[in-house]
Every structure is written in structure tokens, then in C-alpha cells.
Amino acid sequence: MNNTDLLSNWTESTTEGNLDRVIQSKIEPMVDKATRDMVEDIVYCWFLPVLTVLGTTGNIFSCIVLIIQGLNDSTNIFLFVLTLSDTGNLLTNGIRRVQCILGKFDARLGMNYYMVTLPQMKVITIIFSRLTGVITMLISLERCVAVTRPMKVRIWFTTKRVWIMISTLIVLVVALVFPTFFTMKLNWTTHPITKAPMAYVSLTEFYTKNIVVMNWYLSVFLTIMFRFIPVVFIFTTSVTIIIALKKSAAFQKATSSAKDEKLTRVTRMMLTICISYVIFNIPASIHQAFVFLYPEYNLRGFEKNVFYLVSAFGQLAEATNSAWNFVLYFALSEKFAATLKRLLCCSCKNLTSGKSFKRKASSSGGVTKETSISATKPSQSENSKL
């Protein structure tokens, strides 16, 4: 396109936005639809299902281990609630993305499934995701107090107060996100040719009547509250913890106090969880920042393919964070690792003994032989070893 054509188009443009459309019509988008479809297929059909299965399995083990250890201190309570939130995030997001696999066998079935699960399941996923953020904020705050004000942490973060804080945050998150349930509704129609039932989602009357207020509330208020504030707060407290640890002589050298060593290990694990949350939520935060700065950057704009790709990578990063915490627990907590190994060993022994008992019973033809009590009863020395 030469300068004359561009100037003539400019003079012929009489409404706002025409120049943008003229320029965009002559410029290729950064990402074409074929690339977008390929990346979304890899993320939603392969990576997310694998993360959902592995992460949910690991989180179930985490919950069992934490319950065995006891929910009688703030650390285990925080980790237990965080694990539940991570599991909910993985499962609800994974349930929604089953449509990708179904669509490979039946496109109409996959689309109907996606539309049916979209209005409510997406909101539930958002609730679990935001809970993960606020619980991680609370973890970072507790560790910051433990390092900077060690005498206050046992007073401020008692078991009862921790449960009250968590319950309050859960109610707050659910209450603030709850209006999102009233933005979309499910509808059904029939295909004009095949007459097959087709599901589709439309905006509710409540949303359309209050579209200005709802757009501000959903896009600005909730994003700042549960996207930007948690990342900034956790990053700030994490930096504060690192600085305090470097200044403290108790954390700069190995001490003979078992209490200090335990505090160091717990702080290291909780700090790693906080830093991981910040790292894995950076893509989604940058994505939302671009939405604020460039209103034309949206799912219907000129660079909508980029919008969809960044959204896919953001969801993948959040799912990775929810599945990754189990690995951190196991790698950074000796007590957690020992309890998990003991649990798995007991399960393996019970399974092995059950199989051997069945083999003996089948080999004896169903006839059991009596043995003397003295032959099977362990001695006192053997009992002491157990």
C-alpha cells in the first residue's frame, strides 16, 4: 500500500476507528488462527488433562498426610486449605476442558458439553483460583510475622484464629465473586439442517441492564482485588522475609537449636510456595494489564488470536502452580516426606500380605490349618522393635 492510498483512505474516514480498521486490513495479525488452534489443542487436550490427573493425585496424598500429622498448628492448616483449593481449581478446570477430548470424536457433543459447563463451572473455577491467591497471601503474612516478630506469631496466629481468618476469607471471596453467576445463562436450540439440539450461552437480562456497572465490577474491581493485589502483596512480603533472613544471624549459620532449624525449614518451604505463586501468576497478571492498557486487546479484537493464546498459557501456569505444591511439600519438608513414605509402605505391605493370604488360601483348597499360639506370638524383644 502506498502513501497516496493511505491518505485517501484517511480523508474518506468520517467515523472514529475507521483508520484503525483501514490499517488493520492491510496488516497481518501476529498469530494466525491455525497456530492458535494448534497451541490450544496442545494446552487444553494434553497438558491440562495430565496436570489435572497428576496434580489431583498428589493433592489427595497431601491431604491424607496433613490429616495424619494433625491440623493443630497454623502451618498444617494453611497447607491443608491451600491443597483443597488447588484440588478444586484443577478438577473444575479439568472438567470444563473435557470438551476438547470429546470434540475430537464428536464436534457437536464437545461444543454442547462446553456450553453446558461454561456458565457455572467457570465461576466455580474462578472462586477456587482466587481462594488459592488469598490463602497464599495469608501464608506470606504469617511467615513475615514469624521472621520479623517471632514473639507475636504464636499470639496472632493461634489455631482458632487461623481457622477464623480462613473462614472469613472464604466467605469474602465467594460473596465478591458470586455476582458472576448472574452474567450468563444456558439456552438450547436446534441445528437448522440436522435438527440436532445445540446449546449456547447468552448474557442475562440482569447483566445487560447493568452492563456498565457489571463491566467495571468484573473487569476492574475483581481483577485488582484478586489478581494484582495478591501478586504484589506476596511479592512484597517475600522480599521482606528474604531481607530479614539475611540480616538475622540465626538464619545465616547453622545453629544447635532444633527449634531454630525447624523454623528455618518451615520458612524456606512457605517462602518457596509464595514465590512459586508469584512466578506462575505473572502471565495472567501481564495479560490483565494489557487488557487495561489497550481496550482493543480483547477476544474479539484484531489480535484476538494472541488474546486466546495468552489466556491458554495463563490457565496452564495456574494449573501448574496448583499441581506443583505437592512436589514442594515432599522436597522441602522432611516430616511430610517421611509420613508419605510410611503411608505408602504400609499400603504396599497391606496389599502384599492380602495377596499372599489369598494365594495360601487357594493353594490349601480352602482348608485352613491351626497353628499354636506360641509359634506365632512374637517375643518381648521383637515387640519392642515394632
Q: What is the pLDDT of residue 273?
A: 94
In the chain, % helix, strand, coil (3-state, to 5) comes to 80, 5, 15
Instruction: Calculate mean pLDDT across residues 168-195.
Output: 92
Residue 201 near residue 187, CB atoms below 8 Å: yes
Burial of 218 (0-12, 13-18, 19+ CB in 10 A): middle
Of the pLDDT bands very low, low, confident and very high (cuts 50, 70, 90), residue 4 is: very low
Residue type at position 62: S
Of the pLDDT bands very low, low, confident and very high (cuts 50, 70, 90), residue 73 is: confident
Higher pLDDT, 293 or 15: 293
- Nearest-angstrom CA–CA distance, 303 and 283: 17
Q: What is the pLDDT of residue 354?
A: 57
Instruction: Calculate mean pLDDT across residues 108-123.
Output: 90
Residue type at position 96: R
**Which residue bears the cell 516426606?**
337
Residue 227: helix, strand or coil by DSSP? helix
- Nearest-angstrom CA–CA distance, 138 and 88: 19
Model confidence over 133-173: pLDDT tens digits? 999 999 999 999 988 888 888 889 999 999 999 999 999 99
Q: What is the pLDDT of residue 68?
A: 92
Check whether 13 has a pLDDT greater than 80.
no
Instruction: Calculate mean pLDDT across residues 88-100.
Output: 91
Q: What is the pLDDT of residue 369?
A: 43
Strand partners, 184: 203
Q: What is the pLDDT of residue 360?
A: 54
Check whether 25 has a pLDDT greater than 60.
no
Q: What is the pLDDT of residue 300?
A: 76
Domain spans in the chain, listed from the N-terminal domain onward: 29-337
For the chain, what is the mean pLDDT?
81
Query: Who's near 273: CB < 8 A, 6+ residues apart?
Result: 82, 136, 139, 325, 328
Q: Would you state the CATH architecture of domain 29-337?
A: Up-down Bundle (1.20)
pLDDT over 90, % of the chain: 46
Backbone angles phi and psi of 199, in degrees to 5: -95, 145
Burial letters 1-21, b for 16+ CB under 10 A, else e: eeeeeeeebeeeeeeeeeeee
- Nearest-angstrom CA–CA distance, 21 and 27: 10
Residue 257: helix, strand or coil by DSSP? coil
Q: What is the pLDDT of residue 258?
A: 56
Of the pLDDT bands very low, low, confident and very high (cuts 50, 70, 90), residue 257 is: low
How many CA atoms within 13 Å lie on the side-chain side of 272?
17
Model confidence over 201-239: pLDDT tens digits? 999 999 999 999 999 999 899 999 999 999 999 999 999
Full-model pTM: 0.81
Check whether 384 has a pLDDT greater than 50.
no
Question: C-alpha grid cell for residue 117?
Answer: 459447563
Backbone angles phi and psi of 302, in degrees to 5: -65, -40
